[in-house]
Amino acid sequence: MTGRTGPETLTFGGQIAPEEVAALAARGVRAIICNRPDGEEPGQPPFAAIAAEAARHRIATCHIPVRPGAETEDDARAFAAALREMPGPVFAFCRSGGRARKLAAMAAQRPDGTERTPS
């Protein structure tokens, strides 16, 4: 698990395993957003296993699966909504952290989740 800091209440990283959730809890993480589709690569733990372990540590979870390079405005709205609704600090992950970071940047352009208006 590698964590890279974004805004103070949001960190990013690559794929985590269920047994790494306890370390996130010890760091004070209160919510996890997974941006990785289940079955993206062999050996990847399913989101349900991570969510089950997170529940044992009273960590909220949200699954917003996005294929690499296929991030959409709907995904960004869902990410923004998750950030609004979930307790912080939040740890967001995918395979490398790149998709999670991109969705956070897209969501920051529209923090309330509303549509952009043409200029």
pLDDT above 90 as % of the chain: 82
* pLDDT for 8: 61
Please name each of the domains of the chain with its CATH number. Answer: 12-88 (3.90.190.10)
Q: How far apart are CA 70 and CA 117, in angstroms?
A: 22
CB-CB contact of 107 with 80 (8 Å): yes
Chain segment 11-22, per-residue pLDDT in tens? 999 999 999 999
The three-class DSSP label of residue 44 is: coil
The region that residue 69 occupies, defined by phi over 0 for left and psi between -120 and 50 for alpha, beta otherwise, is left
Q: Is the dihedral of CA 68, 88, 108, 81 positive or negative?
A: positive
* pLDDT for 110: 61
* pLDDT for 109: 85
* pLDDT for 94: 96
Q: State the average pLDDT for the chain.
A: 88
Confidence check: pLDDT of 3 > 50: no
Chain segment 38-68, per-residue pLDDT in tens? 999 999 999 999 999 999 999 999 999 999 9
